[in-house]
Amino acid sequence: MAAHGPGTPYRAVLTGASGGIGAAIARRLAPRAEVLILVGRQQAALEALQQELQPHRLQIVCADLCEAQTLDRIAAAADACGGINLLVNNAGVSDFHAFETQSPGAIRKMVETNLLAPMLLTRALLPLLARAPAAQIVNIGSVLGSLGFPGFAAYGAAKAGLAGFTQALRRELSDTAIAVRHFAPRSTRTPINSAQVDAMNRALGTAQDSPDAVAEAFLAFLEETGWQRILGRKESFLVLLNKLAPGLPDSAIRKQLGQIRKYLPR
């Protein structure tokens, strides 16, 4: 069931808050938040967001989630505020590239940031979440974690891992007051996409959402009861089709492969 009823204030940790989707979520979450801890790597962007929102007891943590001391800082900040009832694992990085020539460093960074960091942060904050009468962990994934696409092999693998982690932990904690949930946007107009990705999306007619639209859908999801939401009717259908008859998406994407390769860095 949903962890919060109407009017229940959130005590939240939000990662990736200095990015497009993260900042948009922060703006919508702030009016509902009693405590809001924003985590990101861009100090100036976090400070500007803090000055803009000025909710009660808003804090910022500017650090890299792949560093162990960052997890300790976040846990200490959450504990000092009296605990939390919401963790939003939103931070992520992407690198659109042919896998054969993609750098090992880029592959490692995507797996560490998109999968390992949210797993370890969740582990660090579970004791605090368990103190709340009801709590949520929401992992923000991607349609590409359920629908493999050329140029996103490493990114899609990390996001697929995040979906698997979400499902397993949800079942592990199903007899507790902690709901573990998965929210998967489709392509979104944010700086995480390179110019090549934007050009490819235009050429293929790929639908793209604004960060504000994603954030609005996310806030609605927080009040719903389902454990997962994939944005976009077409994308939701393709994900289902990919599970039931993967040969059909295989064939459709292969027909697009020549066009995709025009934009694919090698």
CA dihedral 254, 257, 258, 261 (to 10 degrees): -160
Instruction: Tally the C-alpha atoms within 13 A of residue 39's C-alpha that lie toward its C-beta.
Output: 26
Long-range contacts of 163-172 (CB under 8 A, 24+ apart): 163/139, 163/228, 165/115, 165/118, 165/119, 165/139, 166/137, 166/139, 166/141, 166/227, 166/228, 167/227, 169/122, 169/137, 170/227
Catalytic-residue membership of 263: no
**CA angle, residues 221, 227, 231, in degrees to nearest 5:** 50
Residue 95 tokens read as 């690198």
Per the listing, tokens 């997890």 go with: 71
In sign, the C-alpha dihedral spanning 3, 9, 11, 12 is positive
CA–CA distances in Å: residue 224 to residues 14, 113, 216, 218: 19, 27, 13, 10
Residues 6+ apart with CB under 8 A from 155: 94, 95, 96, 110, 114, 142, 144
Of 10, 96, 152, 155, catalytic: 155
Catalytically active residues, by annotation: 155
